[in-house]
A and B are shown apart, each in its own frame.
Chain A
């Protein structure tokens, strides 16, 4: 059974940092591009970042460039998102996803 399990969300003050993790199982992790997708409360889906199979190519939506870093560890079947200089508008549920497989998400709340 394919599983993607996100963790690391929580409440953080504006300007703070968080590191999200995603633990994968049930598929050949190292063969897939992976993305982080977020959804603000009551809003639509927003693609945030993606990384290729060996971690050598990374892409970001403009609103997070220079603040977020996507990375992966294929030996640990894990995906990460380092989020720095967080803003209120980064408040959302963050999903780890391939095209077909999605986790259940982890909530990040940026508030004073």
Chain B
């Protein structure tokens, strides 16, 4: 079955840039989406179609995709950005899959 691979954890100091990667064989042909999930809450979409930001999402969140890898970048990460982040995409047959999630620590 198709898999999206993320690092289990990323740690940065406040104000630094955090980068979370997501790799998958179908990514060259499929959009990537990124969700933020804080403890006890439902996920929130922070990036869609690789690099678009929904209304209400801070400008410090950006996304990119190159080849088999998508990247979520948080420029000037804040303590409030501490959360689990998940990438989401489809395989070649259109079935959706989430990455395993990355725990972002900002301290």
The residues of A with any CB-CB pair to B shorter than 8 Å are 35, 37, 44-47, 50, 59, 61-62, 95, 97, 99-100, 102-105
The 6 closest A-B pairs by CB, nearest first: A44-B101, A47-B96, A45-B98, A102-B42, A100-B45, A45-B86
Q: List 18 A-B contacts (CB under 8 A).
A: A37-B98, A44-B100, A45-B35, A45-B37, A45-B86, A45-B98, A47-B96, A47-B97, A50-B96, A61-B95, A62-B1, A95-B42, A97-B43, A99-B48, A102-B42, A103-B42, A104-B42, A105-B42
Chain A residues in 8 Å Cβ range of B86: 44-45
B13–chain A nearest beta-carbon distance, Å: 26
Instruction: Please tell me if the beta carbons of B48 and A46 are within 8 angstroms of each other in the complex.
Output: no
- Kindly report which residue of chain B lies nearest to residue A104, judged by CB atoms: B42
C-beta contact mask, B35-49 vs A, less than 8 Å → 1, else 0?
A: 101000011110010
Chain B residues in 8 Å Cβ range of A97: 43
The residues of B with any CB-CB pair to A shorter than 8 Å are 1, 33, 35, 37, 42-45, 48, 54, 84, 86, 88, 94-101
Chain A residues in 8 Å Cβ range of B43: 45, 95, 97, 102
Instruction: Please tell me if the beta carbons of A100 and B94 are within 8 angstroms of each other in the complex.
Output: no
Instruction: Please tell me if the beta carbons of B42 and A100 are within 8 angstroms of each other in the complex.
Output: no
Whole-angstrom CA separation of A95 from B41 in the bound complex: 11
Instruction: Please tell me if the beta carbons of B98 and A47 are within 8 angstroms of each other in the complex.
Output: yes
Chain B residues in 8 Å Cβ range of A50: 96
Instruction: Please tell me if the beta carbons of B98 and A44 are within 8 angstroms of each other in the complex.
Output: yes
Instruction: Please tell me if the beta carbons of A100 and B35 are within 8 angstroms of each other in the complex.
Output: no
Whole-angstrom CA separation of A100 from B56 in the bound complex: 12
